[in-house]
Amino acid sequence: MIRRLLVANRGEIAIRVLRAAKELGMMTVAVYSTSDRDSPHVEFADDAVCVGEPAPLESYLNINKLIDTAKMVCADAVHPGYGFLAENPAFARRCESARLTFVGPSSGTLSLVGDKLESRKTMRKAGIPVIPGMYTRVKDVKHCADEARGLGFPVLVKASLGGGGKGMRVVRRKEELGDALASGRREAKSAFGDESVYIERYIERPRHIEFQILGDRYGNIVHLFERECSIQRRHQKLVEETPSVALDSELRRKIGQLAVKAARSVGYTNAGTIEFLFDEEGHFYFLEVNARIQVEHPITESTTGVDLVKQQLLIASGEPLHLSQEDVSQRGHAIECRIYAEDPENQFLPSPGKIIYLHEPSGPGVRTDSGIRTGFEVTRFYDPILSKLVVWGEDRETARRKGVLALSDYVILGIRTTVGFLLDVLQHPAFIEGKTHTDFIERNMSGWSESGTDEHLNVALIASAIDSCRKSSTRRGPVTVWEETRNPWLTLGRWRTGHMRG
């Protein structure tokens, strides 16, 4: 079993991993940049080491610093979280050379699945449906145009080493191909250091459904069902849920088996996700492998009862999977809402600043995985995710209502966040009906504003007025109008001591 784990990440996921490690009896070490000195994840670990300046390249992405720190604290394992170095084959290789257990798949698997073209080829060979398209990179515009002609428009230009929508361009007519190729390449070069692109058929209004898998080092692989992640903005997920309304039990079983087959074909170990796209005719295609624990993992945990991060640590410790496919089942429905420090009224621009008041909702079936606290300073250096709200109910409608109540009670004052926006997403008729496609936000939420109803505004004014009254009253003197209402002797009404009633 791993004895001392270093968590090479920050914020909510660092706390999540530290928690699982502590539950397994491991010693824990956190790392932080100078701007994260007062961050909640730092205090959560047994030990914490400062690894550099705020800019990610100086700290959380600084492989040398992280490896040196792990050695210095005598860690025997490193968990990379998500983002940062989680899917970086070079980091995994350095851990392997330093004899540090990397909690994730091998560096070889990471290299393979990080290359979209290689993944497509591997999956096709394994008999898994892939989106019709190229299996080699685009050589020049003519090559690309020939391929596009064969596929039929619209097509999608994609970066071979890409993710997060960078380098992606939809092309609906052949005249647009040249420009799309050039700008896609530029973006790919700038984001990934490699301008390799390819094209595939563009799927309109897809549903984005992914399957969670767990694989141990002995060849045992299971899937833990799907997650529906179709509510997205600029290729960033905002709401996820499980189970998906688009799958019946037969389809679920069939795709689940394909997901396991896909994982096996790349020799996958530890936790990972196989992503699929569903078109409007009900066809589904392999999209990519996410070789990390994902942001939305809690919804799978809520419905299956399996602690995925603990499983990661057990697998990395060399334990065989104690779950078989028959052991895994789903119960109820879970929805996750991602709380970002962004202004939904201003194109979701980041909203750094100080959180002057925080109140997180609670109650049965309400989980908040959070990396913030009152007084926390959100900086402009990192991904703006603050926390995740995960609700569970016996069915989708119950979970949805719980989500609405929980969001109404999620208070983050001082910065703009996605809370108010998410509240309206969850109450939108299209959401209630399960019409979740990747264009949900464009179609249903454009022109959204935080103002809410007149009632919200009126109550805000009334509360401010009452509060101002209260504050000015206490300033006036010892006996004030305000003091009277606080004095129980004056408000109690008629009473007597020592006598029983009646």
Partner 1 sequence: MDFQFRIRGNIHRISVERKDGMYTVRHGDSEWTVEFNPSSENPLTLRVNGKVHRVYMAEAEGRQYVSIMGKQFCVERHEIRSGLSEAGGFGQASTVCPPMPGMVVNVNVVEGDIVEKNQSLAVVEAMKMENDLKSPMKGKVKKVHVSPGDLVDAGKPIIELEAI
Of 97, 329, 468, 474, which one interacts with partner 1 (CB under 8 A)?
Answer: 468
State which residue, 226 or 360, has the beta carbon closest to partner 1. 360
State which residue, 376 or 410, has the beta carbon closest to partner 1. 410
Of the candidates 16, 120, 252, 292, the residue annotated as catalytic is: 292
Q: What is the smallest separation between the CB atom of 61 and partner 1, expressed in angstroms?
A: 16
Sign of the Cα torsion 441, 191, 372, 66 reads positive
Stretch that binds partner 1, among 89-97, 135-143, 392-400, 454-462 (CB under 8 A): 454-462
Q: Is 349 in the site for partner 1 (CB under 8 A)?
A: yes
Stretch that binds partner 1, among 13-21, 257-265, 432-440, 485-493 (CB under 8 A): 485-493
Q: Is 472 in the site for partner 1 (CB under 8 A)?
A: yes
Task: Tell me which residue of 213, 230, 211 sits closest to 275, measured CA to CA.
Answer: 211
State which residue, 119 or 417, has the beta carbon closest to partner 1. 417
Stretch that binds partner 1, among 97-105, 139-147, 269-277, 444-452 (CB under 8 A): 444-452
Quick note: the x/- pattern for partner 1 over 52-81, rule CB under 8 A, is ------------------------------
Could you tell me the CA-to-CA distances from 330 to 35, 244, 434 in Å, in that order? Answer: 41, 12, 19
Q: Is 34 in the site for partner 1 (CB under 8 A)?
A: no
Q: Are 252 and 281 in contact (CB under 8 A)?
A: no
Stretch that binds partner 1, among 108-116, 142-150, 238-246, 417-425 (CB under 8 A): 417-425
Stretch that binds partner 1, among 31-39, 109-117, 309-317, 409-417 (CB under 8 A): 409-417
Of 136, 257, 464, 474, which one interacts with partner 1 (CB under 8 A)?
Answer: 464
Of 331, 459, 474, 476, which one interacts with partner 1 (CB under 8 A)?
Answer: 459
The Cβ of residue 410 has, within 10 Å, a number of other Cβ atoms equal to 23
State which residue, 74 or 466, has the beta carbon closest to partner 1. 466
Task: Tell me which residue of 107, 202, 213, 120 sits closest to 161, measured CA to CA.
Answer: 120
Antiparallel, parallel or unpaired: β 155-159 and 377-378: unpaired
Could you tell me the CA-to-CA distances from 204 to 154, 155, 246, 277, 483 in Å, in that order? Answer: 9, 10, 16, 10, 65
Of 3, 71, 97, 357, which one interacts with partner 1 (CB under 8 A)?
Answer: 357
Q: Is 165 in the site for partner 1 (CB under 8 A)?
A: no
Of 380, 394, 432, 476, which one interacts with partner 1 (CB under 8 A)?
Answer: 380
Q: What is the smallest separation between the CB atom of 22 and partner 1, expressed in angstroms?
A: 31
Quick note: the x/- pattern for partner 1 over 76-105, rule CB under 8 A, is ------------------------------
483/477 Cα distance (integer angstroms):
10
Task: Tell me which residue of 282, 276, 384 sits closest to 339, measured CA to CA.
Answer: 384
Stretch that binds partner 1, among 132-140, 196-204, 415-423, 439-447 (CB under 8 A): 415-423
State which residue, 411 or 445, has the beta carbon closest to partner 1. 411
Measured in whole angstroms, the distance separating CA 125 from the mean position of its chain's CA atoms is 30
**How does 58-67 read in b/e, with b if 16+ C-beta sit within 10 Å?**
ebbbbeebbb
Of 1, 141, 170, 457, which one interacts with partner 1 (CB under 8 A)?
Answer: 457
Strand order across the beta sheet in which 333-340 lies: 284-290, 270-278, 207-215, 221-233, 236-242, 333-340, 385-393, 366-370
Q: Is 186 in the site for partner 1 (CB under 8 A)?
A: no
Q: Is 362 in the site for partner 1 (CB under 8 A)?
A: no
Of 394, 465, 474, 476, which one interacts with partner 1 (CB under 8 A)?
Answer: 465
- 292 as an active site residue: the answer is yes
Q: Is 193 in the site for partner 1 (CB under 8 A)?
A: no
Residue 282 CB burial class (10 angstroms; 0-12, 13-18, ≥19): exposed
The Cβ of residue 252 has, within 10 Å, a number of other Cβ atoms equal to 19
Of 413, 432, 442, 443, which one interacts with partner 1 (CB under 8 A)?
Answer: 413
How many residues interact with partner 1 (rule CB under 8 A)? 48
> Tokens 């990972």, residue?
272
DSSP state of 156: E
Q: What is the smallest separation between the CB atom of 414 and partner 1, expressed in angstroms?
A: 6
163/159 Cα distance (integer angstroms):
8
Q: Which two tokens stand for residue 80?
A: 């990379």
Measured in whole angstroms, the distance separating CA 321 from the mean position of its chain's CA atoms is 25
Of 183, 257, 329, 408, which one interacts with partner 1 (CB under 8 A)?
Answer: 408
At residue 126, φ and ψ (nearest 5 deg) are -80, 0
Provide the H-helix boundaries in 409-453.
419-426, 429-432, 440-445
Q: Is 479 in the site for partner 1 (CB under 8 A)?
A: no
Q: Are 36 and 112 in contact (CB under 8 A)?
A: no
78/476 Cα distance (integer angstroms):
60
Q: Is 285 in the site for partner 1 (CB under 8 A)?
A: no
Q: Are 360 and 370 in contact (CB under 8 A)?
A: yes
Q: Which two tokens stand for residue 10?
A: 């920050």
Q: Is 460 in the site for partner 1 (CB under 8 A)?
A: yes
Q: Are 274 and 292 in contact (CB under 8 A)?
A: no
Residue ranges that bind partner 1, judged by CB under 8 A: 343, 346, 349-354, 356-357, 359, 380, 407-414, 416-417, 419-420, 423, 450-452, 456-469, 472, 481-482, 485-486, 491
Active site residues: 292
